[in-house]
Structure 1
Amino acid sequence: MCTIVLAWQVFPDTPVAFGANRDERLDRPSEPPRERQWGARVIAPADEEAEGTWVGYNEHGVLAAITNRWVDADLAAERSRGLLVRDAFGHQNAESAAQAVEQAVREAEYDGFNLLLVDEDAAVLLEWDGQLAVRTLEPGVHVVVNVGADGDYRIPGHRPEVGERQAANADRLRDHLQVEPGEDAETWLDRAADAIGDHDFGVCVHGDGFGTRSSSLVTLGADRTYRFADGPPCETPYRPVESHI
């Protein structure tokens, strides 16, 4: 499981307010966020096993984030999904990055994924289950989980109960994170951070050898900020990531 929350074009000076939990094997090695050269200057963590990443943004203000997608199809996984995120940072806008993903899935097969690409002008969600669906998101609050986004879910036949439960949790989380009157981006993101660390919403995961490994909070706009919790957000403080881009 992984979870993304996004408030896009909601706050005047902060068109992108974003939070995400990364759920992964506890023994999979990774590096915390820092500046990298991946087709452009980038702030992102790194997966040491496959050399990709799951979240970050580049000097052009393009944010990319990916979750696994639960599917019934037996996909070849010829290339790591995290490399799609890394590739996206070589583009100057979200729409160009989305077009590159459309080409990439013609050239290689990937495990199922939901890939969010967003900048101040566009927000695109690409959903891959062996076929690619491309959604252009409207301004507002969005929640992406392994079975889909924003009430549009596809529950896999091999795990129906956990899929239905995840969809219900995502709906409750999205309702909870609707912007309140007079709320600013910082207040909303703090509230989002509390929610994705709250076990009542079911998106901070603790399991046997698997669970929520880290959490990210990002704002893009007049100011760019990245806060990172190097562990489950229910028990790990967010700390600022140094950035000069």
Structure 2
Amino acid sequence: MCLISLAWQPGTPTPLRLMGNRDEFHARPTAPLAAWSDTPAIVGGRDLEAGGSWLAAKRGGIVAALTNVRDPLLNVPPGAPSRGELVANALRCNDIDVWLTKLSQGGALRYTGFNLLVATPQRLWHLHRGRGRLALNEVLPGVYGLSNADLDSPWPKLLHVRNALERTLIQVDLTQGWPNEVQRAMQNPQEAADEALPDTGVGLELERQLSAAFIIGERYGTRATSWLTLDAQGNIEMTEQRFGALGRFEGQTTLALPSDPSLPTT
């Protein structure tokens, strides 16, 4: 993904609310939100070129999400694997703590830059692999934004979607605000003013294009807006809206993944 807004509220009926946009080349083959044929306990969209994902969840109440770090000066190891495999591996590993610790101790250097979020109803981890920093932290309760830098780096589109989620959470009836207000912010195609743009080394024209929460383009743009809730019992509900070239709407899927293994995915 390239933009995420999330509310982490452990100890409440809904510990995690998360919404994000995946920006990608429209020609890259992708499977829509569904149960994975090779791992039916996992649901998510899937990159058919490398086999990974940007947002997926596993029965039992585990969620993983990924954003790339945009930094042309970051050293890319030869033969670096797809970062999307991190999402799949997070959901397949037997011990999340041990797996993430190994990555934070150097295993993540096999990949180019990324942010990985992994959540259960009780814990939320953030692993950042940047040019000058490799760090694993447990996220404190709060509302956050994440794009192609570090957690809560104050890029205009990040602030826009994070503020929308903060406004949603103060409403008396959350069902009136979630996901609508955050969705509108996520799907806003307005570019940021030049003076507010970050400088990630890609040039002014591309910085302008990438500053929009929802990127509209013929070859590259926002391919999906996805949102999910994770409740205290480990039940997950996820929705994915898909888009083609020039922002053309291509469909929507909603799946409920109950924590109870005796209940079907619906």
TM score, norm. by length of structure 1? 0.82
Residues 75-114 of structure 1: pairs in structure 2 closer than 5 A: 75-76=76-77, 78-91=80-93, 95-102=97-104, 105-106=106-107, 109-114=110-115
Go from structure 1 to structure 2 and tell me whether the alpha carbon gap of 1:64 and 1:189 turns closer, same or farther (over 3 Å shift). Answer: same
Go from structure 1 to structure 2 and tell me whether the alpha carbon gap of 1:186 and 1:50 turns closer, same or farther (over 3 Å shift). Answer: farther
TM score, norm. by length of structure 2? 0.76
Once structures 1 and 2 are overlaid, which stretch shifts more, 85-94 or 190-199? 85-94
Within the candidate set 184, 190, 193, 1:194 is matched to: 184
1:110 and 1:180 mapped to 2: Cα distance? 38
Number of corresponding residues: 230
Q: Which has the larger radius of gyration?
A: 2
Please give the per-residue CA displacement for 1:154-211, whole angstroms capped at 9, x wherever unaligned. Answer: xxxxxxxxxxxxx122123222321224242673322212210122472100134111
**DSSP-derived class of the 2:183 partner:** helix
Structure 2 unpaired stretches of 5+? 192-211, 258-263
1:227 and 1:34 mapped to 2: Cα distance? 10
Deviation at 1:97, TM superposition (A): 4.9
Kindly indicate whether the alpha-carbon contact (under 8 Å) linking 1:9 and 1:15 is maintained by their aligned counterparts in 2.
Answer: yes
Kindly indicate whether the alpha-carbon contact (under 8 Å) linking 2:5 and 2:145 is maintained by their aligned counterparts in 1.
Answer: yes
Go from structure 1 to structure 2 and tell me whether the alpha carbon gap of 1:204 and 1:42 turns closer, same or farther (over 3 Å shift). Answer: same
1:93 and 1:189 mapped to 2: Cα distance? 32
1:137 — aligned with what?
A: 139
1:87 and 1:14 mapped to 2: Cα distance? 25
Residues 146-157 of structure 1: pairs in structure 2 closer than 5 A: 146-151=148-153
1:42 — aligned with what?
A: 42
2:161 — aligned with what?
A: 173
Deviation at 1:213, TM superposition (A): 0.6
Deviation at 1:238, TM superposition (A): 3.8
Go from structure 1 to structure 2 and tell me whether the alpha carbon gap of 1:185 and 1:98 turns closer, same or farther (over 3 Å shift). Answer: farther
1:161 — aligned with what?
A: none
Within the candidate set 236, 240, 243, 2:254 is matched to: 240
1:213 — aligned with what?
A: 223
AA aligned to 2:115 is: N
AA aligned to 1:41 is: A
**DSSP-derived class of the 1:28 partner:** coil
Identity value in percent: 25
C-alpha root-mean-square deviation of aligned residues, in Å?
Answer: 2.8
**DSSP-derived class of the 1:169 partner:** helix
AA aligned to 2:47 is: D
